[in-house]
């Protein structure tokens, strides 16, 4: 069964499938969909949650054995499988078996990035679609973004002037997670009506020393400014992961712009949700950073993510290397 995100809540009230596949490249919306499923699972008595990261070398037979065994601490379990490549290394045979077994003691939540049409035609995807629920999470289109922002503001109890919504949309640059964070700040500040002047002040206050300011400096290739902003963010006690999101958002936009495949650049900007007033810095970055450079940048970003979660490396040092590399791709990590 295929469902849109806005259909999920009604489905979960009626029934709980034994298998959910959630895929897409909009982190906030994907997180919210998964949170709905987790909450419904917990409400239904699935008290034990286990998370598996199905990366290169993942033990798929071991996962099947684990899923087939009884939990020592709970009779029913939520088994969350995160598949960062969207391509299981065993060609999906284990996922097919898990979905078709229909074990009522297990609920499987499989989380993937955007899956292309070829992957959606594979036997493992079709099996999950047949025996479970598939939810595709698509990005908010540029034209829909102000409306999405307005609805979010209203849900938070904040009325906003149209010009204020437009200003906030420009400031958050299509980054949904950043928009939600800004709205939460407004709510905590007790603002119930957002004016254009207030939105302009918010943008001005954050433009210099925040993750967006860092990302903008990297687009412009201003190494000194990027290093200054990063040092300020570190001194303020920010977490590396909260900064990384703004950089990876820009990197992915640049990758999309490089791969516009015959489209005009103006159409590519539109598809990437880059507003006309913001296109200058992107053009500078595109002339400086090749697709290979951007792939290398994503690899460094992945290292920042791993280090931030207790893995190998110094997250702040890696974040500094990433920022400098985006400003100057000739920068050597050695």
Residue 42: give its domain's CATH number. Answer: 3.40.50.300
In this prediction, residues 325-330 reach a mean pLDDT of 92
Same domain, 217 and 297: yes
Same domain, 66 and 78: yes
Same domain, 292 and 307: yes
Same domain, 130 and 144: no
CATH number of residue 187's parent domain: 1.10.8.60
Angstrom distance (rounded) from CA 326 to CA 299: 12
Angstrom distance (rounded) from CA 333 to CA 321: 7
- Mean pLDDT of the residues in the chain: 87
pLDDT tens string 5-18? 999 999 999 999 99
Same domain, 88 and 6: yes
Same domain, 219 and 287: yes
Same domain, 329 and 247: yes
Same domain, 213 and 304: yes
Same domain, 166 and 249: no
Last residue of a domain, one of 76, 104, 137: 137
Last residue of a domain, one of 137, 167, 186: 137
Per-residue confidence (pLDDT) for residue 135, from 0 to 100 = 97
Largest CA distance in the chain: 60
Per-residue confidence (pLDDT) for residue 20, from 0 to 100 = 96
Q: For residue 32, what are the CA distances in angstroms to 53, 139, 243, 244, 261? A: 19, 13, 20, 20, 32
Residue 280, pLDDT above cutoff 60 = yes
Query: Which domain covers residue 219, as residue numbers?
Result: 208-334
Residue 136, CB-side half-sphere exposure with 13 Å CA sphere: 11
pLDDT interval class at 334 (50, 70, 90): very low
Same domain, 126 and 51: yes
Last residue of a domain, one of 119, 137, 155: 137
Same domain, 133 and 6: yes
pLDDT interval class at 204 (50, 70, 90): low
Instruction: Give the pair of three-digit tokens for residue 256.
Output: 């999309």
Count of domains in the chain?
A: 3
Same domain, 161 and 282: no
In this prediction, residues 64-79 reach a mean pLDDT of 75
């Amino acid at each position: 069964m295929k469902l849109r995100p806005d259909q999920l809540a009604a489905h979960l009230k009626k029934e709980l499938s034994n298998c959910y596949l959630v895929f897409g490249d909009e982190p906030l919306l994907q997180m919210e969909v998964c949170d709905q499923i987790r909450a419904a699972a917990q409400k239904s008595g699935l008290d034990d949650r286990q998370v598996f990261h199905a990366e290169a070398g993942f033990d798929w037979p071991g996962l099947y054995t684990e899923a087939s065994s009884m939990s020592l601490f709970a009779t029913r379990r939520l088994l969350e499988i995160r598949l960062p490549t969207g391509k299981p290394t065993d060609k999906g045979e284990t996922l097919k078996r898990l979905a078709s077994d229909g074990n009522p003691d297990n609920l499987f939540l499989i989380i993937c990035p955007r899956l292309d049409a070829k992957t959606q035609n594979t036997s493992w995807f079709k099996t999950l679609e047949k025996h479970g629920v598939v939810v595709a999470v698509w990005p908010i289109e540029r034209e829909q973004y102000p409306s999405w922002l307005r609805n979010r503001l209203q849900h938070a109890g904040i009325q906003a002037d149209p010009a204020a919504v437009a200003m906030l949309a420009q400031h958050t640059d299509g980054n949904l997670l950043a928009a939600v964070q800004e709205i939460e700040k407004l709510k905590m500040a007790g603002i119930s009506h957002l004016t254009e002047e207030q939105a302009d002040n918010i943008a001005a206050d954050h433009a210099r020393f925040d993750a967006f300011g860092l990302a903008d400096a990297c687009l412009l290739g201003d190494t000194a400014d990027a290093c200054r902003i990063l040092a300020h963010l570190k001194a303020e006690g920010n977490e590396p992961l909260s900064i990384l999101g703004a950089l990876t958002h820009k990197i992915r936009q640049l990758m999309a712009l490089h791969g516009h495949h015959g489209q005009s650049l103006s159409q590519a900007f539109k598809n990437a949700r880059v507003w006309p007033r913001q296109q200058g810095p992107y053009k500078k970055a595109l002339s400086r950073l090749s697709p290979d450079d951007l792939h290398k940048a994503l690899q460094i970003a992945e290292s920042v993510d791993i280090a931030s979660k207790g893995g190998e490396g110094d997250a702040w040092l890696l974040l500094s290397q990433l920022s400098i590399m985006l400003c100057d791709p000739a920068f050597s990590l050695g």
